[in-house]
């Protein structure tokens, strides 16, 4: 494999967990911080938020301090992103930069302070959702990886994998299809159902293409909630028990 050109060094699967992918934030060193980042990835409708909530409750009972962060939850950027999305006219580059800014704000104000204090950071989607969504929209992958060079490589990434037919049934039975999750901005047609199927199929392929490189721990999201949670707890417990993170007693 050819090495990544220096100007495009950024998010890749060779970086040690807990380190910046690239140059990082020069004013925020992160050497030897005891906290850990555990990310749960997957498209909308796979049950990420439910699993995060259950995992957080379990970790806190075990005595771990937990901080939860998630997609578009930056106090600085959330109102701007919601306003921009409401018009359904957000172009792909603006789309990418708004989400990157949201992540950067949460990284500085939530994630790094939590790592320094020895907390477990549970991320309801990490940079991989951003890479997948922008990749589907045709944004240059090398540029994207370079853009996210300021991110910290997570210690564990769980990918809740699902097939598009099961996903469609879940979404239709829950809340229906919206403009952005259906990829309607890609202007592949006027039928939202067909657009959703096409877009989500491409999105799932993007996730799968990153799975081996970034070491995703793949879990079958078609299974019952309690079985998925059992798998998560088993993996997380094995990892944390072998790490240097402390438990409150």
Contact yes or no for 139/130 (Cβ under 8 A): no
| Per-residue pLDDT, 246 | 62
**Run means of pLDDT, 10 residues per run, the chain, 249 residues:** 49 91 90 94 93 98 96 89 77 90 96 96 96 93 93 97 94 81 81 90 94 95 97 97 70
H helical segments located in the chain: 48-62, 78-86, 92-106, 112-116, 127-136, 141-147, 164-174, 192-214, 225-241
Sheet holding 156-161, edge to edge: 66-70, 120-124, 36-41, 156-161, 217-220
**In terms of C-beta density within 10 A (0-12 exposed, 13-18 middle, 19 or more buried), how is residue 217 classed?**
middle
Non-local CB neighbours of 181 within 8 Å, separated by 6+ positions: 43, 44, 171, 196, 199, 200
Tokens representing 97?
């930069």
> How many Å apart are CA 208 and CA 49, to the nearest integer?
20
Contact yes or no for 170/45 (Cβ under 8 A): yes
> How many Å apart are CA 133 and CA 39, to the nearest integer?
17
| Per-residue pLDDT, 15 | 92
CATH architecture, domain defined by 17-163+215-239: 3-Layer(aba) Sandwich (3.40)
Domain range annotation of the chain:
17-163+215-239
| Per-residue pLDDT, 248 | 60
> How many Å apart are CA 101 and CA 81, to the nearest integer?
10
> How many Å apart are CA 246 and CA 113, to the nearest integer?
16
């Amino acid at each position: 494999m050819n090495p990544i050109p220096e100007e495009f060094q950024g998010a890749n699967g060779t970086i040690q967990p807990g380190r910046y992918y690239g140059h990082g934030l020069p004013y925020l060193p992160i050497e030897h911080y005891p906290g850990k980042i555990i990310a749960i990835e997957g498209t909308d409708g796979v049950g990420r938020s439910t699993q995060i909530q259950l995992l957080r409750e379990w970790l806190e009972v075990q005595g771990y301090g937990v901080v939860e962060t998630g997609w578009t939850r930056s106090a600085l950027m959330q109102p701007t992103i919601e306003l921009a999305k409401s018009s359904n006219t957000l172009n792909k580059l603006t789309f990418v930069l708004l989400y990157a800014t949201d992540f950067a704000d949460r990284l500085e104000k939530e994630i790094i302070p939590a790592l320094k204090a020895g907390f477990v950071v549970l991320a309801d989607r990490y940079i991989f959702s951003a890479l997948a969504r922008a990749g589907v929209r045709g944004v240059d992958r090398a540029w994207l990886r370079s853009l996210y060079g300021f991110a910290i490589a997570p210690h564990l990434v769980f990918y809740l994998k699902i097939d598009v037919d099961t996903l469609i049934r879940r979404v239709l039975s829950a809340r229906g299809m919206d403009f952005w999750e259906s990829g309607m901005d890609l202007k592949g047609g006027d039928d939202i159902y067909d657009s959703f199927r096409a877009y989500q199929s491409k999105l799932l392929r993007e996730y799968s293409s990153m799975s081996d490189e970034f070491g995703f721990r793949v879990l079958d999201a078609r299974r019952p909630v309690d079985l998925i949670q059992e798998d998560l707890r088993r993996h997380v417990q094995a990892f944390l028990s072998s790490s240097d993170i402390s438990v409150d007693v």
